[in-house]
Amino acid sequence: MHRFLEHLKLHHVPLQEVIIQTGHGSEFDGGASRRQDRGFIPTIEEVCKATHRQLKRSTPKSAIPASQQSLVDNGCLCCLDSRVRMMSMQTKRRKTRTVHIGSVRVGGGAPVSVQSMTKTDTANVSETIRQVKELEALGCEIIRMAVPNLAAARVLGKIKSQIDIPLVADIHYRAKLALEALEQGVDALRINPGNITRADELERIGRAAASQGVPVRVGLNSGSVRGRVDADAPSDTPVEVLMVERALQSAQLLEAAGLSQIIISLKASDVPATLRAYREIASCSDYPLHLGVTATGLGESSVVKSVLGIGTLLAEGIGDTLRVSLTAPPQREVELAYEILASLGLRSRRTPEIISCPTCGRCQGDLMKIASEVSAKLPAQAKQLRIAIMGCEVNGPGEAQEADVGIALGKRGGVLFSKGKKLRQVPSKQLVPELLKEINSLLR
């Protein structure tokens, strides 16, 4: 029965549905007399056959390695490598034009790139460069910085010459700042049509950017549209409608000026409004989209909003680059961006994935202490490993066996697993050292 339930879990088959459906129209191959019993629970072999038929229909043949094709033809797809199943379930990404921000390709099927924004005074060159270098080390691929005045604009070239990732100048209110940033050799502009509203200014920026081969992001925030460029719109017009309309109008002006390298972002502090805005713009244009939720607040609330807004859109195939906006050091923005992307299988992890249970009254040890100690002592090379630290025998062995390496606590210490195999029983005091020893052996 345990194997049967694990099989149902693997293929996301609700047990209640299995019990009911076996009576009428079921795919399970039990005997006729048993199929007439609506309470019949099929054997694992019958579940295997049914899920094989269902998954064979839904899995693209091109997604299955030739060496494993015979399993598809003759056996159950649950025997295939889990990566094949994941490939068949991945959402197809939206097709867009390709835009180049320096050396980074955005859209056109390129990996979703990670951006952040410096939180220094841009005119303080040394401090700004120091922060950019820290973000580079964490995997930031595009850096944006505020250009509130000419003093900031005039040091962009100096900053760019000392960093290794593309630089985006963030421009509000004054078209003159965008033109100076272009003279300084920036890799891209972000302009806000919510406060640079004149058509002639947008066209001037478009012509200058096109002549230098520099892309422009049309970056709308919800706070910059209502009451400014759309004063004549009814007061109850949804903010996402205002953002989409203004973004498309601005993009058309830039296109008319000869610029085709355009990216769009439509950020609100309200997650549902952000989702509606991006879904609408995705349905009616081929511009690459820069994802984000703006003004998310503090602490856990900001993380939840960013994960829900950005993660939902990515899961729908929408989004080509992103910035997680937090009232926090920018390093945390980059770390969270990679967590979102890695959790959806869109980018490789840059830190190890630790799977640990939430704990309950069945926990057989101080799991939080053990997990924290392991995390603090992990070698840097372990970033691609999946490490399970589980508190009891209920889910522990199963989760630990699916990880690269893991432990499941028990009454007399714990069990150490590696690559799906139980290695040995380990005394409580040796759990962390033995787990780390096994991790190091995997890295050799």
Structure tokens of 159? Answer: 């900053």
Q: Tell me, what's the pLDDT at 34? A: 40
Residue 315 covered by a domain: yes
The answer to whether residue 217 sits within a structural domain is yes
Largest CA distance in the chain: 85
CA angle, residues 132, 135, 141, in degrees to nearest 5:
95
Number of domains in the chain: 3
Q: Answer yes or no: is 94 within a domain.
A: no
Q: What pLDDT is recorded for position 73?
A: 52
pLDDT under 70 in the chain at which residues? 1-91, 226-233, 400-401
Strand partners, 140: none
Report pLDDT digits (tens) over 156-198: 999 999 999 999 999 999 999 999 999 999 999 999 999 999 9
Domain extent at residue 297: 99-343
Residues 221 and 331 placed together within one structural domain of the fold: yes
Q: What is the per-residue pLDDT for 57?
A: 56
pLDDT digits (tens, 9 = 90+) for 100-144: 999 999 999 999 999 999 999 999 999 999 999 999 999 999 999
- Give the residues across from 207 on adjacent strands: none
Of 41, 62, 89, at which residue does a domain stop?
89
Tell which of 284, 313, 343 closes a domain: 343
d(CA 307, CA 339): 9
Kindly report the pTM of this predicted structure. Answer: 0.77
Kindly state whether residues 32 and 128 are assigned to the same domain. no
Residues facing 32 on adjacent strands: none
On whether the CB atoms of residues 68 and 80 are closer than 8 A, the answer is yes
The span from the CA of 198 to the CA of 107, in Å, is 28
State whether 260 and 164 are in the same domain: yes
Between the alpha carbon of residue 122 and those of residues 11, 132, 156, 173, 215, the distances in Å are 52, 11, 8, 17, 21
**361 and 292: one domain?**
no
Same domain, 253 and 206: yes
Shared-domain flag, residues 309 and 364: no
Residues 165 and 143 sit within 8 Å (Cβ to Cβ): yes
pLDDT of res. 44:
43
Residue 399: give its domain's CATH number: 3.30.413.10
Long-range contacts of 412-418 (CB under 8 A, 24+ apart): 414/364, 414/365, 417/388, 418/442
Cα separation of 212 and 209, whole Å? 5
pLDDT at 36: 39
What is the pLDDT, as a whole number, of residue 357?
A: 86
Which of 343, 364, 394 marks a domain boundary? Answer: 343
Q: What is the pLDDT of residue 347?
A: 93
**Statement to judge: residues 29 and 177 lie in one domain:** no
Q: Do 304 and 234 share a structural domain?
A: yes
Decide: 261 and 99 in contact? Cβ < 8 Å.
Answer: yes
Q: Are residues 310 and 407 in the same domain?
A: no
Do 199 and 297 have their domain in common? Answer: yes
